[in-house]
């Protein structure tokens, strides 16, 4: 490992894993719903689902197999493997909001991103604790107080956020970090 390598932290939910797709799938299946990501522009799932179904949304997140079922975001695996050759990569997931999810999230990462060593996986709540140059996250709130630069990964709920550099896919991550930047 070169000490001159820049360090990138990557969020898991809605960046590596399509958490919203699984959440929508379960909700639509159980409630005969037709909600799509297009209906969620600028909103969290909680804002498009009736209030009396909110406990159901919570339940999905807490169910044993929710995180095991998450689809991998397109190109995430290939691009992360490329990034690893030029940057020090850490995964940083805000698991403290659903503490029952630690083990399942860890299993998911081991299964789909086995090339990331366990020592480079972090579960935290407040991401200002991360000592990194970049944080790729769908939640702009996590950039406040972060010591590096926050890169916003497109998600329905952040469609209206304009405060940060933004990427819409892993192909754009690849372009930004491997083509556009001056590699050390």
Min CB(116)–a copy of itself separation in Å: 11
CA 10 to chain centre: 7
Active-site residue (options: 11, 18, 137, 138): 11
Taking residues 130 to 169 in sequence order and writing x for each that binds a copy of itself by CB under 8 A, - otherwise, the string is xxx--------------x----------------------
Q: Which stretch binds a copy of itself (CB under 8 A): 73-81, 112-120, 163-171, 173-181?
A: 112-120
CA pair distance 176, 170, nearest whole angstrom = 10
Tell me if residue 116 falls in helix, strand or coil.
coil
Place of tokens 């991998």: 72
Q: Confirm or reject binding of residue 122 to a copy of itself (CB under 8 A).
A: yes
CA pair distance 173, 179, nearest whole angstrom = 10
CA pair distance 18, 74, nearest whole angstrom = 9
Q: Confirm or reject binding of residue 57 to a copy of itself (CB under 8 A).
A: no
Q: Confirm or reject binding of residue 2 to a copy of itself (CB under 8 A).
A: no
Q: Which residues are catalytic?
A: 11, 13
């Amino acid at each position: 490992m070169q000490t001159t390598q820049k360090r990138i932290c990557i969020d898991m939910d809605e960046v590596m894993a399509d958490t919203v797709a699984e959440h929508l799938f379960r909700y639509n299946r159980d409630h005969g719903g037709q909600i799509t990501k297009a209906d969620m522009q600028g909103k969290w799932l909680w804002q498009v689902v009736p209030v009396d179904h909110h406990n159901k949304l919570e339940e999905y997140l807490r169910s044993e197999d929710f995180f095991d079922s998450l689809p991998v975001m397109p190109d995430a695996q290939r691009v992360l493997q490329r990034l690893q050759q030029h940057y020090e990569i850490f995964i940083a997931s805000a698991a403290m909001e659903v503490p029952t999810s630690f083990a399942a999230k860890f299993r998911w990462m081991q299964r789909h991103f086995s090339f990331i060593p366990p020592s480079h996986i972090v579960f935290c709540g407040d991401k200002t604790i991360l000592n990194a140059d970049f944080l790729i996250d769908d939640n702009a709130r996590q950039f406040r107080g972060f010591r590096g630069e926050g890169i916003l990964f497109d998600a329905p709920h952040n469609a209206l956020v304009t405060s940060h550099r933004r990427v819409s896919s892993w192909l754009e991550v690849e372009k930004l970090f491997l083509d556009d930047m001056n590699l050390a």
